[in-house]
Amino acid sequence: IAWTVYLDFVTCLDAQNDNDIPILVRETGTENCEKPVPGTYFYYDSKVGVCQPFYYFGCGETNGFKSAEECRLACKGATDSRRSIAISKCKSKAPAARESSGKYIECGSCPGGYVCDADLCCPTREYLCMLPYDGNANNFLTYNDCTAFCKNN
């Protein structure tokens, strides 16, 4: 069973060109290059209207901002061009696993790193809190929800 994490597109002001540009959020990159430059970057989270931190592995293109202030300045008044949809959340406040069609995955077919919880395939603490190594969902609504859930990991 395949599942998809949907990426958000938002429009933020490109300060150098005075144009609106699409920003692909949380482009984490890879570690597979000659000189990786990993670190914490920021993206505009259109769900809550604030800039959130994420870990960038150091290789490939990042559409993230180097500081929270740079993100806030560029994305002040940003608009989300997607229509709103209801998101089923797990007790951890992370979104439940979905198929590429957007349909929630049934409990008997949860992907690796997920367990059945209240009829939803919910990510485990080990799966969500492994930054920066191993793939992870890293899809909490806010940074504070993430740190609250992962603080004992």
Question: What's the rounded Cα separation, in Å, for the pair 77 and 109?
Answer: 40
What are the backbone angles phi and psi of residue 44, rounded to the nearest 5°?
-90, 120
For 80, list phi and psi in degrees, rounded to 5: -105, 120
Unique residue bearing structure tokens 């931190």? 53
Task: Tell me which residue of 145, 135, 146, 141 sits closest to 28, measured CA to CA.
Answer: 135
Distant-in-sequence, close-in-space partners of 69: CB < 8 Å, separation ≥ 6? none
Q: Could you tell me if 98 and 92 are in contact, meaning their C-beta atoms sit under 8 angstroms apart?
A: no
pLDDT for 150 equals 79
Question: Which pLDDT value is given to residue 103?
Answer: 82
Q: What is the pLDDT of residue 91?
A: 81
pLDDT along the chain (153 residues), means of 10: 36 48 59 78 73 78 77 73 58 79 86 89 81 51 75 67
- In this predicted structure, what is the pLDDT of residue 39? 82
Exposure on the CB side of residue 69, measured as CA atoms within 13 A:
0
> What pLDDT shows up at residue 64?
77
Q: Which domains does the chain have, with CATH numbers?
A: 9-80 (4.10.410.10), 86-153 (no CATH)
Position 133 scores a pLDDT of 46
